[in-house]
């Protein structure tokens, strides 16, 4: 089995004292740190976001990453996608180092972020044509490809030409995945692709993810707060806590890590709570 992604002893700290003065000043003024879209940290606190993480993802696998808020999941994804530089360790995608060969890596991967942004007044077709131009694709052939990809994700003709702002979040998330597929990535990084979706949209997006794996041999790394989703989609699951991978195994093997109570087999949620010692917030709790 060939290895698609190798993460070796990767470490990333935010808010280091050595960070340029102007960056911290700018962070202070704006109330957020440089390239921090979520306004986290404020650029003041020193945060070990990813703490000596090692993992591998094999071809055709969906590796799930579960973890409480702030445990470093998105940072790990941004490190893999060359948007951030690791302080220590190495990351290779199909053998290419993300720091030394970022362009080679970028050609092999794509990322769907938790809050995908679009031109909301434009249609999925217009948004994807715009996206395609960024990959150097133009012309009639691009239109045909965009139609094929959107059709594959279940978008109807009517949705394809209507403004994005009129679409449900589930549908918008599918368009985000479609956009990421334009570059034909061999490794897709999905950061909470189903967070905030209703059960039906969630299932639709999950079906798309399965199809990508089963019919298009796309390897994926997927973060989620939904234990059921991780179990349903992922062959193996890494549990992160405070920047560290505290467990990484198949769902069944993970379940063995939590004590069974009253003869009941532990759930993945039991394992999560056992390993992270945290209580799920209602936002994180899996949908019933």
Which residues, at least 6 apart from 260, have a Cβ–Cβ distance to it below 8 Å?
A: 266
Element housing 178 (H / E): helix 169-181
Let me know: does 190 contact 159? Beta carbons within 8 Å. Answer: no
Interface residue with ligand ATP among 67, 86, 170, 193 (CB under 6 A) is 67
Position 74 contacts Mg ion (CB under 5 A): yes
Let me know: does 35 contact 109? Beta carbons within 8 Å. Answer: no
Binding region for ligand ATP (CB under 6 A) out of 65-73, 162-170, 230-238, 255-263: 65-73
Q: How far is the CB of 54 from ligand ATP (least distance, A)?
A: 17
Position 194 contacts ligand ATP (CB under 6 A): no
Nearer to Mg ion, 37 or 166 (CB): 37
Binding region for Mg ion (CB under 5 A) out of 67-75, 98-106, 153-161, 164-172: 67-75
The DSSP code sequence of 44-109 is: TS-EEEEEEEEEEEETT-EEEEE--TTSSHHHHHHHHTTSS--SEEEEEETTEETTT-HHHHHHHE
Interface residue with ligand ATP among 47, 155, 212, 220 (CB under 6 A) is 47
One character per residue 3-42, x = contact with ligand ATP (rule: CB under 6 A)? -----------xx-----------------x-xx---xx-
Q: How far is the CB of 36 from ligand ATP (least distance, A)?
A: 3
**Pairing between strand 3-14 and 47-58?**
antiparallel
Position 71 contacts ligand ATP (CB under 6 A): yes
Nearest residue to 277 via CA among 234, 225, 249, 242: 242
Q: Using CB under 6 A, list all residues that contact ligand ATP.
A: 14-15, 33, 35-36, 40-41, 47, 49, 67, 69-75
């Amino acid at each position: 089995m060939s290895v698609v992604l190798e993460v070796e002893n990767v470490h990333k700290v935010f808010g280091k004292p050595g960070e340029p003065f102007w960056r911290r000043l700018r962070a202070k003024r704006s109330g957020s740190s440089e390239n921090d879209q979520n306004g986290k940290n404020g650029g003041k606190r020193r945060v070990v976001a990813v703490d000596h993480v090692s993992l591998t993802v094999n071809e055709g696998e969906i590796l799930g990453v579960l973890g409480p808020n702030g445990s470093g999941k998105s940072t790990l994804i941004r490190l893999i996608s060359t948007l951030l530089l690791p302080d220590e360790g190495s990351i290779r995608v199909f053998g290419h180092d993300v720091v030394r060969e970022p362009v080679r890596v970028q050609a092999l991967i794509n990322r769907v972020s938790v809050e995908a942004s679009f031109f909301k007044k434009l249609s999925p077709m217009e948004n994807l044509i715009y996206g395609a131009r960024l990959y150097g694709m133009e012309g009639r052939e691009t239109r045909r490809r965009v139609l094929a990809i959107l059709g594959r994700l279940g978008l109807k003709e009517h949705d394809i030409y209507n403004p994005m702002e009129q679409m449900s979040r589930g549908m918008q998330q599918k368009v985000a995945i479609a956009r990421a597929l334009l570059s034909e990535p061999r490794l897709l990084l999905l950061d909470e692709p189903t967070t905030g979706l209703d059960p039906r949209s969630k299932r639709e997006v999950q079906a798309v993810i399965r199809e990508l794996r089963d019919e298009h041999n796309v390897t994926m790394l997927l973060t989620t707060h939904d234990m059921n989703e991780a179990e349903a989609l992922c062959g193996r699951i890494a549990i992160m806590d405070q920047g560290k991978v505290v467990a990484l195994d198949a769902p069944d093997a993970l379940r063995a890590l939590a004590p069974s109570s009253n003869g009941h087999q532990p759930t993945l949620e039991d394992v999560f709570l056992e390993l992270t010692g945290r209580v799920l917030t209602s936002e994180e709790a899996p949908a019933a």
